[in-house]
Chain A
Amino acid sequence: MTAANRCAIVGIGQTHHKAKRQDVSIPGLIREAALRALADAELTWKDIDAVVIGKAPDMFEGVMMPELFLADALGAAGKPILRVHTAGSVGGSTAICAAHLIMGGIHRRVLTVAFEKQSESDAMWALSPRIPFQPQLTAGAGGYFAPLVRAYMRRSGAPDDVGLQVAVKDRQHGLKNPYAHLRIKGIDRAMVADSPMLWDPIRYLETCPSSDGACAMVLAAEDAAAAPRPPAWVHGLATRSEPVVFSGRDQVNPQAGRDCARDIYAQAGIHTPSKDLDVAELYVPFSWFEPMWLENLGFAAEGEGWKVTASGATALGGALPINPSGGVLCSNPIGASGMLRFAEAAMQVRDQAGEHQVDGARRAMGHAYGGGSQFFAMWIVGRDRP
């Protein structure tokens, strides 16, 4: 790390994710995650110096700049609060913003929270606005990303059942995660293959759900990192963004993702990610994005990602477990999905992941992406102080 100060993750909390959390208001939802993070750190609201909150578009709940009214519920009155929005990568970039407040020496303890309560509105509608002089995206995210998956299949020559395998594997992982939204008992290849084709080649069960949920972390400076359980330490973190579209842009294997990964590997001293990292939580909203990201992030050579998936290496117990939590395919409160990846990575190196713990995990990656595969946020966390 090149920054002036180290950053530790001392508290982690998340909600039980569901299609509709009608038992809680928006403030109730974020407090559920925040209180769990505070309890994990054995801290109270009073110990927090600042709050950084993130979520995806405000049209997902129909509240403009909701951090203003959520300040009360987050104990932020009298404190600084920042609101980040970087599309689907926001959960990651929110945590990164919070980490910078620690690493810049500005605060000792920062609470960072990300959420989406998608049942308040309709994400498909909010993702498909009619904007003057632009083609209307009428099919939401799946309609946008399906052509990229097709392009990947054509380029790599991958057999067309690799997506089924990811969908089954992540749902099996999700059964081990008490917070997961989709818990499909008896999930198997036939069940996924028989589910309706939504956006060819993406089937219903190869798609993420729409969830209500939140995630929170307490980040601390080194002198405040003494916690009831060992902290996770930030070993590297970065964001990269590139334009939505220009001729020659590779949306299947975006340069921004490759650059972002290279940046955090350099910070963390990682030379061979597939060997040097014990586990990764990648933002995989559609099954095929697992092999695509394996290549983009350097876990596999270009065109080889599907072979790693097909080998079973990415399942729990394999050489390179990907998404032991069940990932975005099991829980997708969009604004929180990136932070859940970051938090699950930290849980792994803190030996805190329960049934979906990767034995002996010492270094883990959290990854988030958003927009038209153009916004990336990533971090590497480790058990050892960097």
Chain B
Amino acid sequence: MRDVAIIAFAQLPAVRRDTEREEVELVQPVVTAALAQAGLDRRDVGFTISGSCDYLLGRPFSFVAALDAVAPWPPIAESHVEMDGAWALYEAWARLQCGDVDTALIYAYGKSSLGELPDVLVQQLDPYYLAPLGADAISLAALQARALLDSGRADERRLAAVAARSRRAAAANPCAQRRSRREVDELLAEPYLVAPLRKHDCPPISDGACAVVLAAGDVARRLVPRPAWIRGIDHRIEPHQLGHRDLTRSPSTAEAAARAGAGPDAAPFDLVELHAPFSHQELILRDALGLPTDDGTADGIDDGDGGDGPAINPSGGALAANPMMVAGLTRLGEAAARLMAGDGRRALAHATSGPCLQQNLVCVLETDGGAP
């Protein structure tokens, strides 16, 4: 495979409801900032691609309006996926593998606030067998959380510990939305939202946008001092029907990780960014990824009280900010940005899509050995 790296990442601070800006106004600042970081003129970008979803905006072709943000004149080579931007990055990475273009711009945006998000996501379910049941996104996640608790591999305290750690990390992230520190016992005293999930186990509803620049080989080396090289990237989907899956496991994550070079025998990571919109999903993902514990417990699950393992979601993750179609690409961008800043040499980044972790993408990032 051709060497391709993330060389720039920019994001908007996620907010609960952005009433000031429409899609093109969300995208333009992050695209401009990412290209400036990369030292690239927009006319020199070889391939442009975005990720977004019409249903969030309640209109068809929302990506058409957003395209103005990249000023596509003269006309550009461009595509769009109706998916999280992480999959747009995958298509861009594949495009760069063809060898005839050297740079790509990826952007993603989402205004989750425009509708009743949990109800909007019902429209994402099988229209014949699942959507008519009307189970909203939080209820489905709660079913999954209940199954995990019933398996004996987690308890509510562990869920709260994930949420508490996310908030501690988010306090240092100016782009995070939920940044107030809360202790585990405090969180456990809260009422259930949909049992066994409490509000802090669920993601906030967020509006936001982000952009990433990819470059290949020597172009990446010329543009930035510490490119975050994509050493492996893969994505897999599972059956949609929830009854066909063991909701407490994520075999698609394990498969994608193995193919991306993050399998059981992989070298350790300095940091990990997981796209886990719900607290229990982080535990399922960590299990699938075989991530080491840093608290010495035997079940392979970290409760975030320090230790030798990788930093998990140093950005705060999707529990701190979850703009739909953006949060997955943000995980890849956050991990790369930290490596580019010298905070570690090797990172794992993950993105998810669909109900109950149906589809998962895993990316392994590394910088060259030199000092930052």
Do A259 and B99 touch across chains, with their CB atoms under 8 A apart?
A: no
In the complex, whether B120 has a CB less than 8 A from a CB of chain A is yes
Task: Say whether B91 contacts A85, CB under 8 Å.
Answer: no
In this assembly, does B183 line the interface, its C-beta being within 8 Å of a C-beta of chain A? Answer: no
Partner of A97, one of B1, B58, B76, B79: B79
- The listed residue (B60, B87, B123, B237) touching A77 by CB distance below 8 A is B237
Q: Give the complex CA separation of A57 and B76 in angstroms.
A: 22
Q: How far apart are the CA atoms of A190 and B22 in the complex, in Å?
A: 48
B98 at the interface (CB under 8 A from A): yes
- Those of A88-129 within 8 Å (CB) of chain B: 93, 96-97, 100-101, 103-106, 126-127, 129
A79 within 8 A of B: yes
Chain A: which residue is nearest B251 at the CB level?
A78
Whether the Cβ atoms of A3 and B100 lie closer than 8 Å is yes
On whether A65 and B76 interact (CB within 8 A), knowing A85-B81, A127-B60, the answer reads no
- Give A179 Cβ to nearest chain B Cβ, in Å: 25
Q: Is the beta-carbon distance between B73 and A243 smaller than 8 angstroms?
A: yes
Closest chain B residue to A56, Cβ basis:
B60
Residues in A neighbouring B87, C-beta threshold 8 A: 82-83
B80 with A86: CB separation less than 8 A: yes
**Interface 9-residue window, one of A9-17, A33-41, A68-76, A277-285:** A68-76
In which size bucket is the chain B interface? 35 or more
Pick the contact of B237: A2, A81, A104, A238 (CB < 8 A).
A81
Report the Cα distance A133→B120, complex, angstroms: 23
Q: Is residue A25 contacting chain B, with contact meaning CB distance below 8 A?
A: yes
**Do A240 and B99 touch (CB < 8 A)?**
no
Q: How far is the CA of A374 from the CA of B63 in the complex (A)?
A: 13
**Residue of B whose beta carbon sits closest to that of A63:** B127
How far does the Cβ of B108 sit from chain A's closest Cβ, in whole Å? 13
Q: Which of B139-147, B296-304, B352-360 lines the interface with chain A? A: B352-360
**Does chain A have a CB within 8 A of B126?**
yes
Question: Counting CB contacts under 8 A, is B54 at the interface?
Answer: yes
B68 pairs with A244, CB closer than 8 A: yes
Give the residues in chain A near B130, CB-CB below 8 Å: 69
A241-B60 contact given A71-B240, A80-B236, A81-B237, CB 8 Å threshold: no
Q: Collect the chain B residues with CB atoms within 8 Å of residue A239's CB.
A: 77-79
Question: Which residue in A65, A104, A106, A371 is a CB contact (below 8 Å) of B82?
Answer: A65
Distance in angstroms from A115 CB to nearest chain B CB is 13
Residues of A within 8 A of B79 (CB): 84, 86, 93, 96-97, 239
Q: Separation in Å of the B299 CB from the closest CB of chain A?
A: 26
Instruction: State the CA gap A133–B130 with chains docked (Å).
Output: 36
| A101 and B94 contacting across the interface, CB-CB below 8 Å | yes
Q: What residues make up the interface of A, taking CB atoms closer than 8 Å to B?
A: 2-5, 25-26, 56-72, 76-87, 93, 96-97, 100-101, 103-106, 126-127, 129, 131, 133, 238-244, 246, 254-256, 259-260, 371-372, 374-375
Task: List 17 other contacts, CB 8 Å, given A68-B359, A97-B79, A241-B78.
Answer: A3-B99, A58-B60, A59-B54, A64-B54, A64-B123, A65-B82, A68-B240, A69-B126, A76-B237, A78-B237, A82-B83, A82-B91, A105-B1, A131-B59, A239-B79, A244-B64, A255-B75
23 A-B pairs with C-beta separation under 8 A: A2-B98, A25-B128, A59-B54, A59-B60, A63-B123, A71-B239, A78-B252, A79-B237, A81-B359, A86-B80, A97-B79, A100-B98, A101-B94, A104-B97, A129-B59, A239-B78, A241-B78, A242-B74, A254-B75, A255-B74, A256-B75, A260-B75, A371-B61
User: What is the interface of chain B, defined by CB distance below 8 A to chain A?
Assistant: 1, 22, 48, 53-55, 58-61, 63-65, 67-68, 71-83, 87, 90-91, 94-100, 120-121, 123-128, 130-131, 234-241, 244, 251-252, 255, 353-355, 358-359
